[in-house]
């Protein structure tokens, strides 16, 4: 196990503990240079799932089944649909469009002093859950739609985290089950994960302790900054190829 892989696991776990998401956004950006995609994707799902189990302890008393259930209901249909069309998607083009959308929207949100609030019902929550699930199953980028949606609801920081973290745990269990069924998780990958797991657990716990110090407004801005960074990371490879053609 190389120190670089462990360092990325520690950094990703800390960011996830701090914000409640973004393990995959950080880990994929670095592990993609160190391992094959067939190893990176399931490893990211397992690492993110472990980090969620650790960091969700700080908000566990605020989890409301009624609030989370429509998102979960949507993901039950979205995850398998996304996994089913995985082989037919042009992943590079798809991620470029998602990245561009995140950059434009988050840049606008970071320029405003008062974030918009949405009053929505359970059907819209289910639609967001479906979208996040489909993206997670197809491309492994299911976090942005859910966190973006929660940030625009009239919920405080703890409620946001309790909602999207509990949703992510259930969604990632779905995705991991499909990956196991597709034989993407073998003994070698499990051994690699076992070596990284203690580092992820420790850094996620530390990040969750630091995250408690943020106000609602600071937390919301941090979410948009992370989403903006993820948009840049998703768009960068396509932009680089486009520039190289000239």
Distances (CA, A) of 34 to 1, 28, 139: 11, 10, 19
Contact 233, 41 (CB under 8 A): no
Query: Residue 89: what pLDDT?
Result: 64
Contact 18, 207 (CB under 8 A): yes
Query: Residue 145: what pLDDT?
Result: 87
Evaluate if residue 115 carries a pLDDT over 70: no
Query: Residue 174: what pLDDT?
Result: 92
Give the pLDDT mean for 51-55: 85
Q: What percent of the chain has pLDDT over 90?
A: 27
Give the pLDDT mean for 177-194: 88
Distance CA 147, CA 106 (A): 12
Query: Residue 11: what pLDDT?
Result: 87
Mean pLDDT lowest for which of 40-44, 63-67, 163-167, 195-199?
40-44
| 57 three-class SS | helix
Query: Residue 237: what pLDDT?
Result: 75
Instruction: Report CA torsion sign: 151, 153, 158, 160.
Output: negative
User: Could you read off the pLDDT of 4-29 as tens digits, one per residue?
Assistant: 899 989 988 888 888 777 787 778 77
Domain limits of the chain? 3-244
Phi/psi at 118 (5° precision): -115, 130
User: Could you read off the pLDDT of 82-98 as tens digits, one per residue?
Assistant: 877 766 767 677 667 77
Other C-beta atoms lying within 10 Å of the C-beta of residue 216: 15
Model pTM greater than 0.85?
Answer: no
Q: How confident is the model at residue 246 (pLDDT cuts 50, 70, 90)?
A: low
Query: Residue 245: what pLDDT?
Result: 67
Residues 6 or more apart whose Cβ sits within 8 Å of residue 156: 216
Contact 7, 198 (CB under 8 A): no
The 10 Å CB-count burial string (b at 16+, else e) for 15-33 is bbbbbbbbbbbbbbbbbbe
DSSP state letter for 32: T
């Amino acid at each position: 196990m190389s120190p670089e892989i462990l360092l990325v696991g520690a950094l990703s776990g800390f960011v996830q503990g701090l914000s409640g998401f973004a393990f995959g956004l950080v880990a994929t950006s670095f592990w993609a240079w160190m391992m094959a995609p067939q190893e990176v994707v399931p490893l990211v799902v397992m690492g993110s799932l472990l980090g969620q189990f650790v960091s969700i302890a700080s908000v566990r008393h605020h989890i409301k089944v009624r609030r989370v259930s429509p998102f979960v209901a949507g993901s039950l249909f979205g995850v398998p649909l996304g996994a089913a069309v995985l082989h037919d998607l042009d992943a590079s083009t798809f991620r470029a469009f998602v990245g561009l959308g995140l950059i434009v929207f988050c840049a606008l949100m970071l320029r405003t002093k008062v974030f918009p609030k949405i009053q929505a019902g359970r059907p819209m929550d289910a639609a967001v859950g479906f979208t996040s699930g489909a993206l997670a199953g197809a491309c492994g980028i299911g976090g942005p739609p859910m966190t973006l949606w929660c940030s625009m609801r009239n919920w405080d920081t703890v409620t946001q985290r309790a909602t999207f973290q509990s949703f992510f745990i259930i969604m990632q269990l779905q995705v991991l089950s499909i990956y196991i069924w597709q034989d993407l998780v073998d003994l070698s990958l499990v051994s690699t994960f076992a070596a990284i797991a203690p580092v992820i657990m420790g850094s996620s716990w530390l990040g969750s302790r630091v995250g408690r110090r943020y106000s609602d407004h600071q937390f919301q801005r941090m979410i948009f900054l992370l989403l903006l960074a993820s948009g840049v990371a998703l768009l960068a490879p396509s932009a680089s190829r486009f520039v190289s053609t000239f």
